[in-house]
Amino acid sequence: MNDVMGGEHAGESALLERLRAGDEAAFGALYAEYRNRLFSFLLRLSGRPALAEELCQEVWLRLVTHPPEPKPGVPLGAWLYRVARNLFISYLRSRNMDPTRTCELTAIQLRPSLQPGPLEELAEKEMKGILRTALAGLPLAYRECLLLVAVSGLTHQQAAEILELTAPALRKRLSRAREMLAQRLARPAKTGQEGE
């Protein structure tokens, strides 16, 4: 998952150049490479599959309408996540929703099917479910930070540019996000142990 920064970037730049020239096959290749990554990012950001699909389509349409120039060392993912994140923020603003409170809605949307018990008894699938729920419950500022760096594999510098933060501010926020997530993951276990 974190391979977006690897040697494939040169090939990706070539694909982007071809896309800018109107090559449909190049679009197909980039779409195949990023469609699930982008959808996952948007789903985890918004917590709503229908909205994630809608925003996903808008991002891809923007790519074909105004494809970015390839930049050395910068994967297309950085551009896609930036556009996706800005669209999501615009969506929240258009609905007069407070981005700092979206965690409540996201957590509610992702909660079904997850009934966390003691960590020792959880299967891997359930653990991932808990992780998703805990991630969804983080405030947007911390969630997007983790999604960009830990899940999508962008560098701190790339994530800082997308989030319009300085590198030290990003590191601080990332550290806080990890701590918050860890606390949320620890809570069910603690509760379960106390109940025994």
Partner 1 sequence: MSVDEDRMTASQVEQWLAALPLDELRPAAAARIEAACLARMRRRYQWLPEWRSPLLDALGLALALLLGSGYLLETLARALAVYGVHLY
Least distance between partner 1 and beta carbon 74 (Å): 20
Least distance between partner 1 and beta carbon 60 (Å): 5
Cβ atoms of 37 and 77 closer than 8 Å: yes
Q: In this chain, which of 71, 93, 128, 172 binds partner 1, going by CB under 8 A?
A: 128
Neighbouring residues of 75: CB distance < 8 A, sequence distance ≥ 6: 4, 5, 9, 12, 154, 158
Compare residues 61 and 108 and give the one whose CB is closer to partner 1: 61
Asked if 191 interacts with partner 1 (CB under 8 A), we say no
Neighbouring residues of 33: CB distance < 8 A, sequence distance ≥ 6: 12
Distance CA 14, CA 9 (A): 9
Distance CA 170, CA 163 (A): 8
Place of tokens 């409540």: 104
Q: Which of residues 47-76 bind partner 1 (CB under 8 A)?
A: 53, 56-57, 60-61, 63-65
Q: At 4, which amino acid appears?
A: V
Least distance between partner 1 and beta carbon 32 (Å): 9
Residues that bind partner 1 (CB under 8 A): 1-2, 22, 24, 27-28, 31, 35-37, 39-40, 43-44, 53, 56-57, 60-61, 63-65, 127-128, 131-132, 135, 146, 149-151, 153, 178-179, 181-183, 185-186, 189-190
